[in-house]
Structure 1
Amino acid sequence: MSLNRRVFLGTTAAASAAMAAPMVMADGHGKPRVVVIGGGAGGATAARYIAKDSKGEIDVTLIEPTRTYYTCFFSNLYLGGFKDMNDLGHSYGGLAASGVNVVHDWAVGVDRDAKTVSLAGGGSLGYDKLILSPGIDFVDGSVAGWDITSQNAMPHAYKAGSQTELLKAQLKAMPEGGTFAMVAPPNPYRCPPGPYERVSMVAHYLKNNNPTAKIIVADPKPKFSKMALFQEGWGDHYDGMIDWIGEEFGGGSVSVDPGAMTLTIDGEETAVDVCNVIPAMKAGHIAEIAGVTDGNWAPVNAVDMSSKADADIYVLGDASQQGDMPKSGFSANSQAKVCANAVRGALTGSKVFPAKFSNTCWSLIDTNDGVKVGATYEATDEKIAKVDGFISQTGETAEVRKATYEESEGWYAGITSDMFGAKT
């Protein structure tokens, strides 16, 4: 199925570039109040749909510290030279113009008894329903020798923006014939094919700018998403450049030294010029503060994405522990629509439709060489369960691969319009 903006939007209204609306405190006797924390694929979508579909019956506030949101999906294409950072950046003007009260601040506390969210800038917001979509944070100590203070020397670039730009600058500054290293994350993590698309995009850049350079991937997993497709593509486009070291060969026994710029795999130390460390992940910290996590993730009910710890809190996207869906932008957007429908129904009595979910993850291996994997899902009592799926096949024609890449471009235009309204 070909995807474009109309798949996500029936019509797209022109959005103004107005500044975010001022914070409004509900008095407890007016409209029901929904507070959304996190303005990415889950949070922005949920806020927009609740405001749009409730037609003013619900006060919707989105709390998001950044004024420009850079999508992590497609950020690898910036590393490969296929996108500019401006292509990835989106403002919240469209959401503000559509009736969402956008507050640019950090949420630093949740009082579930009082139903309030406290802000770093002072004050608090009351809610009837709270939606958490905070994305990811990293598990301390998951890569020996690395912590968050090392992210300038060895960037993770798994939260898009300045980290992405830093990794690209380091890539461009590599000496001729230098070594780019990646420490891949253990399961589960944001965007299962993401690290391997990144390897592909780094290889694409190096092939064109530093063709004698090498790439080392230390991976704690025995296999990864779209493995056969990526390895076929690496052989076709980057033969001899990429050395993937999986669990069997020591990829799970890794340490780094950011000061010395070394990577040690199973006791063997290697000097590297760039080291992209992608640590183990967990739900964004506000989910832990709210007390809705169980270990590293936040368990939810599949039917509406409500927290298993609190029926008035919902958790979307990467932070949620929901079952079979991968942690992806498409998944978060799909979950947000189910959640928005359920929240609106709970607060206004409007019709709630059965929960249905879908996901597709596209990856670019080289110019016009796109591949994809996806599935549809349904809500069961236990989890979001996979119904059926599809994946690109090895040996596909160049025409099929080009069409797959073009489909991904249409999807990106569609989902970002669905999240933010027209780009401002």
Structure 2
Amino acid sequence: MQGHNHSSRREWLTQALGLLSVAAAPSLAFANNAAHIVIVGGGVGGATAAKYLKLFNPQLRVTVIEKNPVYVRPYGSSEVLNQHAKMDDLNVSYDGLKSRYGIEFVFDTVTGLDPQARVISTLGKKKIGYDRLIVSPGIQLMYSAYEGYSEAVANQSVPSGWIPGQQTALLAKQLQGMRQGGTFVLAAPPNPYRCPPGPYERAALMTEWFAKHNPTAKVIIVDPKDSFVTDETMMLGWNRLYNFNLPDDYVKKMSAEVEVKQHSKPSMLSWVRGKDGGRTLKVDAKNMRIETEAEVIKADVINVIPPMKAGQVAATLGLADSSGFCPVERRTFASTLVPNVYVIGDASIADAMPKSGFSANTQAKVVARAIVEELAGKPAPEPLWENTCYALAGKDYGLFVADVFKIQADGKIGRINGKGRYLPLNATPAQIKLGARYQQAWLRTFTADCFA
């Protein structure tokens, strides 16, 4: 992509990658150190940490404890709903991490931690000692946040699918089999949640699919929020692809940079913001109704993305505070509640950093470097993190948000790039299409960086 905004973004990412490449060359003073690093959670954060620990110091013993023998990737999982991908496409093997780097895997459920003895306990009655422990718990969905909703309801009739698996397959079946002229309601979550552009991408991809297969269908997003990450670029895509009329305040804000069309023909897609009563209150699975502050909506398919907190293992190990997430020391992501434990990914309290796979990946690299240097008796280097989230407003309509982060004067993690965060509003059709190609390429290369 060309243009001033993209050049600024590229400059920031070049700086970030340069510093991260420096971070990838730690001291060799630890060459004979055979410390045992245990990682709980084999998702993006845990897998990346395991791989980069072994890259930084092949002498380390690294063990990953993970419940599932195959990783099912959440990023890109909404593409199962519009038949752009199959459920099997989401499966990622751990074989590369085992064979190429000598990483050990224990497929079991963690049940406890003795921080003094530095021992992890599992459901299979294993006792696993460690020198340092990294926990990458992911998120859990708070199904009970809405009256009438529960995990059982989600598994049977009103799926979430935000953690991919059987609910994703159920939702795909419901959407692809929805009656002609039916209504699909997506209940977006409150902040903070995993993958900020994700709910809006999901709604867009299904609107595109319905336009071809069910052209009289309706897609309604009910939302407790009044804005979201990538909202301007995402809604501009909706405007161009689906006759969506942006709210007046967005039109006013964006009109200096780009023409926003006003359509006389109603759109298949609508967005009910928090200020307009979009917050979900109740789910009636039997009658397929969802109640918001503004109205009760009768639907054919309901997709609820509930509030989130750190994965259950975080609470089990005493790593989460009253917020439901895990406080960490920002420089190293060491837990502030339990010694010799580091928490990365969606579960950590990382201030301005979003809860995304890219964030977890870059946090894992910084933590791996910090541990390696600490074991060598050296201080951790000044950390720098980055995040890029690609999203689709349609199969060929790509957009992104890209940021670089560092510790600010107040001790918290803050964004240091001010320009070039998003696809420019005046991007050309070729740039937009290229963004979609980047998204598909990123799915492959990112997975390889974490798991291969």
Tell me if both proteins adopt one fold, taking TM over 0.5 as the criterion.
yes
Partner of 2:242: 238
Query: Structure 1 counterpart of 2:289, which letter?
Result: T
1:406 Cα deviation from its structure 2 partner:
1.8
Partner of 1:114: 117
1:251-308 deviation line (CA, Å, top 9, x unaligned): 1253111122111222632221111111110001111111121121101111111111
Partner of 1:173: 177
State the alpha-carbon separation in 1 of the partners of residues 433 and 195 from structure 2: 22
- Find 1:410's aligned residue among 422, 434, 441: 441
CA contact (8 A) 1:95 1:102 kept: no
Query: Structure 2 counterpart of 1:125, which letter?
Result: I
1:359 Cα deviation from its structure 2 partner:
0.4
1:367 Cα deviation from its structure 2 partner:
2.4
State the alpha-carbon separation in 2 of the partners of residues 268 and 247 from structure 1: 12
CA contact (8 A) 1:301 1:383 kept: no
Partner of 2:205: 201
State the alpha-carbon separation in 2 of the partners of residues 47 and 350 from structure 1: 20
Equivalences, count: 398
Query: Structure 1 counterpart of 2:335, which letter?
Result: S
1:317 Cα deviation from its structure 2 partner:
0.8
Partner of 2:312: 285
Query: Structure 1 counterpart of 2:428, which letter?
Result: T
- Find 2:277's aligned residue among 236, 239, 250: 250
What RMSD over aligned residues (CA atoms) do the two structures have, in Å? 2.1
- Find 2:37's aligned residue among 20, 34, 39: 34
CA contact (8 A) 1:217 1:244 kept: yes
- Find 2:414's aligned residue among 375, 378, 385: 385
Partner of 2:255: none
State the secondary structure of the residue aligned to 1:335.
helix
State the alpha-carbon separation in 1 of the partners of residues 294 and 386 from structure 2: 42
154-163 or 373-382: bigger deviation: 373-382
Give unmatched runs, 5+ long, in structure 2.
1-9, 22-32, 244-266
1:139 Cα deviation from its structure 2 partner:
2.7
CA contact (8 A) 2:280 2:290 kept: no
1:39-89 deviation line (CA, Å, top 9, x unaligned): 111110001111222112x21110111122121111122222322333322
CA contact (8 A) 1:256 1:262 kept: yes
- Find 2:139's aligned residue among 110, 113, 136: 136
1:349 Cα deviation from its structure 2 partner:
4.0
Partner of 1:228: 232
Does 2:218 correspond to 1:214? yes
State the alpha-carbon separation in 2 of the partners of residues 140 and 205 from structure 1: 28
Query: Structure 1 counterpart of 2:171, which letter?
Result: L
CA contact (8 A) 2:351 2:412 kept: yes
- Find 1:396's aligned residue among 427, 443, 447: 427
Change (3 A) 1:59 1:237: same
CA contact (8 A) 1:301 1:322 kept: no
Query: Structure 2 counterpart of 1:399, which letter?
Result: A
Does 2:219 correspond to 1:192? no
Partner of 2:130: 127
Partner of 1:23: none
- Find 1:95's aligned residue among 94, 97, 100: 97
State the alpha-carbon separation in 2 of the partners of residues 392 and 267 from structure 1: 33
Query: Structure 2 counterpart of 1:245, which letter?
Result: V
Change (3 A) 1:106 1:287: same
**What is the identity percentage for the equivalent residue pairs of Structure 1 and Structure 2?**
38
State the secondary structure of the residue aligned to 1:338.
helix
CA contact (8 A) 1:190 1:327 kept: yes
1:175 Cα deviation from its structure 2 partner:
0.7
State the secondary structure of the residue aligned to 1:322.
coil
Partner of 1:24: none
State the alpha-carbon separation in 2 of the partners of residues 356 and 125 from structure 1: 32
235-244 or 184-193: bigger deviation: 235-244
- Find 1:362's aligned residue among 373, 386, 390: 390
Partner of 1:21: none
Q: Which has the higher helix share?
A: 2
State the secondary structure of the residue aligned to 2:195.
coil
1:144 Cα deviation from its structure 2 partner:
2.1
State the alpha-carbon separation in 1 of the partners of residues 431 and 440 from structure 2: 15
Q: TM-score if structure 1 supplies the norm length?
A: 0.89
State the alpha-carbon separation in 2 of the partners of residues 142 and 418 from structure 1: 36
State the alpha-carbon separation in 2 of the partners of residues 354 and 40 from structure 1: 25
- Find 1:341's aligned residue among 361, 365, 369: 369
Query: Structure 1 counterpart of 2:75, which letter?
Result: F
State the alpha-carbon separation in 2 of the partners of residues 150 and 261 from structure 1: 11
Partner of 1:151: 154
Change (3 A) 1:80 1:395: farther
Query: Structure 2 counterpart of 1:246, which letter?
Result: R
1:219-264 deviation line (CA, Å, top 9, x unaligned): 0011111112222212221231112111111112531111221112
